Amino acid sequence: MARSHIRILKEAKADQIIEVKTRISHPMETGLRKTADGAPIPRKIINRFECIYLGQSVFVAELQPAVSADPYISFFVRARQSGKLEFVWTDDDGAAYRDEADLTVI
């Protein structure tokens, strides 16, 4: 099971640019390893990340096979108004892991 970690300011001034830091613990599998009997273990990596703020996608990353385990992603967002930032990590089999954080604009 995946577990996410998010760090953002809880409060920001209007139009302030804030840093958003995310990391997801996920059982990444490269697809290059084999089981003890020689069968390939299917690839299962986080291949897409999206942040949605005030209903709009504000950051998207398409991740490739060389991505590290438990990928850490940092980016910046302009705080326009109070609301939720929604985070979606998607892996190879289509499973989506979601989390959110509240941002208050003062």
| Residue 76 one-letter amino acid | F
Give the domain range for residue 59.
3-28+44-105
3-state secondary structure of 40: strand
Residue 37 lies in a domain: no
pLDDT tens digit sequence for 40-96: 999 888 999 999 999 999 999 999 887 888 899 999 999 999 999 999 999 999 999
Residue 69 lies in a domain: yes
Q: Give the model's pLDDT for residue 64.
A: 87
* Angstrom distance (rounded) from CA 51 to CA 89: 9
This prediction's pTM: 0.88
- Does the pLDDT at position 1 exceed 80? no
Residue 99 lies in a domain: yes
Q: Give the model's pLDDT for residue 105.
A: 97
Q: Give the model's pLDDT for residue 11.
A: 95
* Angstrom distance (rounded) from CA 40 to CA 23: 27
CATH number at residue 50: 2.60.40.10
For strands 11-12 and 96-105, give the pairing: parallel
Q: Give the model's pLDDT for residue 54.
A: 94
Q: Report the domain count for the chain.
A: 1
Nearest Cα residue to 72 out of 32, 27, 20: 20
